[in-house]
Each structure stands twice: as C-alpha cells, then as structure tokens.
Structure 1
Amino acid sequence: MSELKEIMRACAGVDEGVDLDADIADVEFAELGYDSLAVLELANQVERRYGIPIPDEAVAEMPTPGRALDFINAQLARAEV
C-alpha cells in the first residue's frame, strides 16, 4: 500500500484534509479528492512503473485504493506466471 500511496501523491497530489497515512484502503478515491482523471493517471503511473497493463475500463473496478491494490497485485501475479 505504501508504494500505491507514493504514486497517488506523485500523480495527483493530496487534498489538505486527506491523510494518506491513515487507513484509506476502503475509502473511495472521490472521497480522497481524486477524480476519474486522477485515477486514470494513477493507473498510467502503475503501468509505467511495473510494466503491467491496466485498461481504462478496469479503472471502474478500482473505486478504492484497496481494490486498486488487489487489481494491481492480480496483474502482477499473472505477469509472473
């Protein structure tokens, strides 16, 4: 989760009232101040950093950082096989 938070900070910043160091796994990206474009940028950053594909339509399956992390880890596991 720490690497995902690092990417979140880098790609879209953080609203003043949001504490990314808190337990945000189940908090919707919108509540964290991330609009759909910011989440797409997050997906693009993950693609570049880890070399795993994240189709734009998959972003809808990642409404929270926890779900995004689950999706990313599943993609990484498939890439290792």
Structure 2
Amino acid sequence: MKELTLDDLRHLMRISAGEDESTDLDGDIIDAGFRDLGYDSLAVLELASRLERDWGVVVPDEVAATLETPRAVLDYVNERAAVK
C-alpha cells in the first residue's frame, strides 16, 4: 500500500467536512490542531471513516478522538499501513 501523504489527507479532509473559508488547507497545516482548522469531532470521525474506506486502515472512534493534528493522522495511518 502506498503511503498516505499530506496532500492525500488534505483531499480527504475537504471531502469529509469541507473547508472553512477562513482556513487555508494548502498552507502549513501538518501540526495545526483540527479544531484550529475548523474541524470538530464529527468531522474527524468522518475523516476516520473515509480513511478506513479509502485506505483500508481502521481508526476506532476512541483513537480518532486522540488524533489532534494532521501529523498524528499521517503517523497513525502510515504505521498501520506498513504492517499490512
């Protein structure tokens, strides 16, 4: 399986919950908190669902709640994808 990149994640974020007009997902967002990016817990759960569907990596709800930045999501998904 190929590695999930920040660009891949940006795409999933946009289709999961849209993009707040005041947030520039094309900027340096890797360590920005999802709340700072305008993504609430429901948007993060939708992102987790898309990661499972599109990337085959299960992100349980209780884990999704702890993934607070795009970097944390990338690390989580890529660590599990490498094991497959």
Q: Into which bin does the TM-score normalised by the smaller protein fall?
A: over 0.9
Structure 1 ranges of 4+ moved more than 3 A: none
What secondary structure is seen at the aligned counterpart in 2 of 1:20?
A: coil
Q: Structure 1: any 5+ residue segments left out of the alignment?
A: none
Corresponding residue for residue 44 of structure 2: 39
Q: Whole-Å Cα distance in 2 between the matches of residues 9 and 75 of structure 1?
A: 23
Q: Give the fraction of aligned pairs with identical amino acids, expressed as a percent.
A: 49
Amino acid at match of 1:19: D
Decide which moves more: 53-62 or 36-45.
53-62
Matched, 1:49 2:49: no
- Which among 5, 12, 15 is matched to residue 17 of structure 2? 12
Q: Structure 2: any 5+ residue segments left out of the alignment?
A: 1-5
- Root-mean-square deviation over aligned CA pairs: 0.8
Q: Whole-Å Cα distance in 2 between the matches of residues 43 and 26 of structure 1?
A: 18
8 Å CA contact retained: 2:44, 2:65: no
- Normalized per residue, the structure richer in helix is 1
